[in-house]
């Protein structure tokens, strides 16, 4: 079975399912995108790694990684191997003591773990052929999985953030992370990144 390597392009709010998010995976060396609808908890777990936030306590996926490392088991690969009735099925390819172990996983959890283990994500070519879509720059607004040209973005940052200085934003970011309010932390991190990018222009 031929595999295609994927990268995490970003997360956006789902326009069709309330409280859900669209995880967008991008084909390496290609122009196709794979949209996957996921829940809020899983979206948060992925965004935390995309934004390089450091929770004060380990979240579930962090705990899985820590436990696996302690047991000397390493996640080598995530493989999206099946698509059935609109649901993607994934496998975790784990190496322990020189042996390969395959575990079934929800795709959202598998991606969250892949980011933590820094391991590759693959999809079966036949599934990518069925579910992959090509998004041109001027078509983003019409696609469920890419609501803007920056699919990593969430809803617009709260207006009060624009009135704060960089140092104040960083203090607010620390407060949000300590309070485990990761959605607000991601908003603040986006605002900091936007300011820093603008300063380099």
Output the pLDDT for position 137. 47
Q: Is residue 140 scored above 50 in pLDDT?
A: no
Domain 3-154 belongs in CATH node 3.10.690.10: yes
* 151-164 pLDDT per residue, tens: 444 444 565 777 78
Pairing type for strands 3-13 and 121-124 reads antiparallel
| SS3 state at 21 | strand
Sign of CA dihedral 180, 184, 186, 191: negative
Residue 148's pLDDT is: 33
Average pLDDT over residues 29-43: 89
Q: What is the pTM of this model?
A: 0.72
C-alpha dihedral sign at 16, 158, 198, 9: negative
Mean pLDDT over 22-41 rounds to 90
Domain ranges of the chain: 3-154, 155-201
- How large is the average pLDDT for residues 168-177? 82
């Amino acid at each position: 079975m031929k595999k295609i390597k994927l990268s995490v392009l970003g997360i956006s709010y789902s326009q069709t399912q309330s409280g859900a998010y669209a995880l967008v995976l991008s084909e390496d060396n290609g122009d196709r995108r794979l949209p996957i609808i996921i829940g809020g908890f899983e979206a948060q777990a992925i965004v935390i790694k995309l934004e390089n936030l450091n929770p004060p306590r380990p979240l579930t996926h962090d705990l899985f990684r820590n436990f696996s490392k302690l047991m000397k088991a390493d996640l080598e690969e995530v493989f999206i191997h099946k698509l059935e009735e609109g649901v993607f099925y994934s496998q975790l390819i784990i190496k322990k003591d020189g042996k390969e172990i395959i575990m079934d996983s929800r795709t959202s959890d598998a991606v969250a773990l892949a980011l933590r283990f820094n391991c590759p994500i693959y999809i079966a070519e036949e599934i990518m052929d069925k579910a992959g879509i090509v998004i041109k720059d001027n078509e983003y607004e019409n696609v469920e999985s890419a609501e803007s040209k920056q699919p990593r973005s969430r809803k617009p940052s709260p207006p009060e953030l624009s009135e704060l200085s960089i140092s104040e934003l960083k203090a607010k970011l620390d407060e949000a992370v300590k309070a485990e309010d990761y959605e607000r932390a991601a908003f603040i991190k986006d605002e900091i990144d936007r300011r820093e990018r603008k300063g380099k222009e």
